[in-house]
Amino acid sequence: MSDSEPIALFGSRPPVSATRKLQSGPVSDGVETRKPEGKWPDQTFFHRRELTEILKVYGRKVADGEWRDYAIDATRDKAVFSIFRRSSEMPLYRIEKQPRLARKQGTYSVITATGLILKRGQDLAQVLRAIDRKPRLVVA
């Protein structure tokens, strides 16, 4: 092995140039940014503000001992935050973000394990109230 040849630690991996050609971007403040040629696949993600809202509710329910695990999926059409009681079960709730429904029923929805849509709307905080209900004392 020569000095110019890279060392493969965990199996052979093709060089970056073979998998994706990089194109130089604008240089600002001495830092060169690089982006791949072509177009990234369009995917829908939760933004930081949206994840903060979801994780506030999730954190409260974890502290109460109701929920224990979560998963985040991002596809071309929607982003999904799934909530589990145990990691080996089906999700109790799915919080979905579908931007194509923004002008119809609303971007956000909360869906139960059976597929029932609990709440749909434009405001994520209002939609999350469907699963963040506080228990109330009922006086008979």
pTM, whole model, 2 decimals?
0.65
Instruction: Tell me the two tokens of residue 4.
Output: 């110019």
The Cα 22–Cα 19 span in angstroms is 10
Region 69-82 average pLDDT: 90
DSSP annotation of 138 reads P
Average per-residue pLDDT in the chain?
77
Instruction: Output the pLDDT for position 45.
Output: 86
Any idea where the domains of the chain sit in the sequence? 48-128
Pairing of strands 108-112, 117-121: antiparallel
Query: Is the Cα torsion angle 68, 74, 75, 76 positive or negative in sign?
Result: positive
Q: Are 43 and 74 in contact (CB under 8 A)?
A: yes
Strand runs (DSSP E) across the chain, as ranges?
A: 22-28, 31-36, 69-74, 79-84, 93-97, 108-112, 117-121
Is the confidence at residue 73, as pLDDT, over 60? yes
The Cα 107–Cα 121 span in angstroms is 6
Q: What is the pLDDT of residues 17-64, one digit of tens each?
A: 444 444 555 554 444 445 455 555 577 888 899 999 999 999 999 998
Instruction: Output the pLDDT for position 22.
Output: 47
Q: What is the pLDDT of residues 84-139, one digit of tens each?
A: 987 777 889 999 998 888 888 888 999 999 999 999 999 999 999 998 877 677 88
